[in-house]
Amino acid sequence: MKNKVKFVSNIFFLTAILILQFGCQTKNGEEANSNPLDKNYLTELLNERTFKDSSLRYDPHSPFNRDSKAEYAKLNYYEPGSEFIFTSKLYEYDPKDTVDVFGTLGELRRVVKLGYVELNYRNDEHKINVYKAFGSDGTPYYSIWYTDKTTGKETYGVGRYLDFEKEDDPDHIYTIDFNRAYNPYCAYSAKFTCPIPREEDYVDFEIKAGEKNFH
C-alpha cells in the first residue's frame, strides 16, 4: 500500500514539474516568462498536436499520402509557453487594399489586407497584418502569415501561419496565440504551394513558439 501511495505521489510530482516547465521558457539562460499555463489549455493544445500528427499520417489528402517522396515523421514544436500569447483588437485598414501575394510555386494570388493586430513584446509594440483570402470555392478565410528572427533557422524558411477567426464586434479582443503557429503543407512536400509572407509581414523578434522546422 505504501509503495502504491509513493507511486501516485511521484506521478503527481512529475505532472506538476511538466506543467511548470511548459509555463516558463528561458532565453540566454534567463527566465523569460514565469506565468504558468492553465492545465486545461495545455491539455487542449497537446491534443490538437496529437490530432494533427494523426491526420498527417492517415488522411488521404495529407502531403504524406499524396506525395510518394514525402516521408512522414512527427512534427517538432517549441514547448508551450505564455510569453508568445498576445491580446489585441483588430485595427482594420480604411481603405482595404487588395495586394499581390506569391505562392511557393510562383503563382500570383490576390488577397485583401484587412487590418492588423498589435503585439506588445517586452515593452515594444509590433504589428502584424491579417489577410482575407478566398478558397477554391470562393469561401473567405482569414490568416496571419509571417516571418520572424527564427525563420530559416529554427523554423520553416518560407514562414509560418496562424488561423484567424474574425468577429463582427469592432471592439472584440482577440487572442493571438503563437503556440498554435504552424507550417503550411509546402513545408512537407514541394508538390504543394502556399502563400509567401510579404516583406512587411516580418516580426522583428524571435517567436519561439509553435511549430519548428520539419525533420
101-127 pLDDT tens trace: 999 999 999 999 999 999 999 999 999
Digit-coded pLDDT (tens) for 188-203? 999 999 999 999 999 9
Binning pLDDT at 50, 70 and 90, where does residue 20 land?
Answer: very low
| 209 contacts: CB under 8 Å, gap ≥ 6 | 78, 80, 81, 83, 84, 178, 179, 181
Task: Give the mean pLDDT of 150-160.
Answer: 98
CB 193 within 8 A of CB 186: yes
Digit-coded pLDDT (tens) for 170-188? 999 999 999 999 999 999 9
Q: Residue 136 above 90 pLDDT?
A: no
Quote the cell numbers at residue 189.
512536400
Better pLDDT: 31 or 59 = 59
Quote the cell numbers at residue 57.
499520417
Q: How far apart are CA 185 and CA 144, in angstroms?
A: 16
What DSSP string runs through 73-96? -PPPBPPP-STTEEEE--EE-SS-
Q: What whole-number percentage of the chain has pLDDT above 90? A: 80
Quote the cell numbers at residue 185.
503543407
What is the amino acid identity at position 15? Answer: T
Please compute, for residue 91, the number of CA atoms within 13 A of its CA located in the half-sphere on the CB side: 10
pLDDT at 215: 81
Q: Where are the domains of the chain?
A: 2-201
Please compute, for residue 44, the number of CA atoms within 13 A of its CA located in the half-sphere on the CB side: 7
Q: Is this structure's pTM higher than 0.85?
A: no
Binning pLDDT at 50, 70 and 90, where does residue 138 land?
Answer: confident
pLDDT at 3: 42
Quote the cell numbers at residue 86.
498576445
Task: Give the mean pLDDT of 128-141.
Answer: 93
